Amino acid sequence: QKEVEQNSGPLSVPEGAIASLNCTYSDRGSQSFFWYRQYSGKSPELIMSIYSNGDKEDGRFTAQLNKASQYVSLLIRDSQPSDSATYLCAVNGVPGNQFYFGTGTSLTVIP
């Protein structure tokens, strides 16, 4: 069974703060890890992908991967009210490259 676990939140941070989102996964064979953002009633929208251990930065977003601990995180710096959404962690399955999603963490950025 391929499990992806996230804290469901809600997570509230003040505008300008750092939001930290965490994800663990069960399948050691997974090689690709993704963070998506989802607004209510909308489809998942890709934020970042990460494939190697360590940090990957893209603008205000930093993804961190630790395969030994089976742990992925997303940091959002200088959080903005527009960042308020549900953040989904996705892990690929092998074979087939289908995605397994966590339940998502609801983030609210308070102005």
Name the minimum Å distance from CB 51 to another protein: 6
**Residue number with CB closer to another protein (76 or 90):** 90
Q: List contacts with another protein (CB under 8 A).
A: 31-32, 34, 41-46, 49, 51, 88, 90, 92-104
Pairing of strands 11-14, 105-110: parallel
Do residues 101 and 43 make contact, with C-beta atoms less than 8 angstroms apart? no
Residue 7 to residue 78: CA distance in whole angstroms: 21
Name the minimum Å distance from CB 72 to another protein: 15
Q: What is the 3-state secondary structure (H, E, C) of 10-66?
A: CEEEECCCCEEEEEEECCCCCCCEEEEEECCCCCCEEEEEECCCEEEEECCEEEEEE
Name the minimum Å distance from CB 14 to another protein: 27
**Residue number with CB closer to another protein (37 or 79):** 37
Name the minimum Å distance from CB 18 to another protein: 25
**Residue number with CB closer to another protein (19 or 50):** 50
